[in-house]
């Protein structure tokens, strides 16, 4: 696995964990921000042929 793929996967894992925590705390702004980051990371992965 390449460094790019590893980095994308790591950032996605962190974003999903953060999203879960933000939702459990009722922090809608942070949850929305992390959801947008997840969408961006998934788009970047897709555009670069990274299968998730």
* Per-residue pLDDT, 52: 84
Measured CA to CA in angstroms, residue 6 lies from 17, 20, 29 at distances of 17, 21, 27
- Which sequence spans correspond to the domains of the chain? 3-46
Question: Mean pLDDT of successive 10-residue segments in the chain (52 residues)?
Answer: 92 98 98 98 96 87
Asked whether the beta carbons of 8 and 50 are under 8 A apart, the reply is yes
């Amino acid at each position: 696995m390449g460094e790019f793929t590893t980095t994308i996967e790591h950032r996605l894992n962190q974003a999903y964990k953060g999203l879960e925590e933000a939702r459990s705390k009722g922090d809608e702004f942070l949850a929305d921000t992390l959801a947008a980051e997840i969408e961006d990371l998934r788009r970047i992965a897709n555009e670069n042929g990274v299968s998730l």
